[in-house]
Amino acid sequence: MVPIKIKKKHYFLKEGQINEYAGFVVKGALRLFSMDENGTDHILQFYIEDWWAVNMKSYMSRKPSDFFIEANENSELFAVPRDKFEVILEIPAFKEMFWYINQNHHIATQRRRDHAIHLSALKRYENFSLLYPQLVRRFPTSQIASYLGITRETLTRVRKGLSN
């Protein structure tokens, strides 16, 4: 593993680059997002301590990424180069941890999709803030709104309604 420090607003991965490293977040917060033709961010994932920051599609296929991974805070990661990943998976404890994290990520992705289809903006935010209170505290309203698939204004109204 290679230690990497990323300053706030700097990138771990840029669109068009091949994701050569999976980064285990030791300190900090990052986000994975795409940007549309109007310059609007569409956030797909947040990463904080003890989470893996990676565009798995690019990392495993060795094809250019469609996404950016940017630090929202000064961050420190331990990065695993793609060519060492399979070697590390031979370590039983690492393999078990990888599958545990992978399963949880899959479940969270399904939950997010289901919530986007079936729940109101209010319920999506309530569920998100209950499951991930640390993310609510560390990421700006505009980014949380993007992740939830709602506008910043809608999220502001939802939060105001909850505080009343």
Token pair recorded at residue 77: 């990661």
pLDDT of residue 115: 86
Token pair recorded at residue 44: 């797909």
Architecture of domain 2-90: Sandwich (2.60)
Segments making up each domain of the chain, as ranges = 2-90
Nearest in space to 79 (alpha carbons), one of 61, 97, 59: 59
The model's pTM: 0.88
pLDDT of residue 89: 85
Tens digit of each residue's pLDDT (9 = 90 or more) over 42-98: 999 999 999 899 999 999 899 999 999 999 999 999 999 988 988 888 899 988 988
CB atoms within 10 A of CB 72: 18
pLDDT of residue 62: 93
In sign, the C-alpha dihedral spanning 76, 82, 84, 88 is positive
Q: What are phi and psi of 7, to 5 degrees?
A: -75, 155
Tens digit of each residue's pLDDT (9 = 90 or more) over 13-30: 999 999 999 999 999 999
pLDDT of residue 32: 97
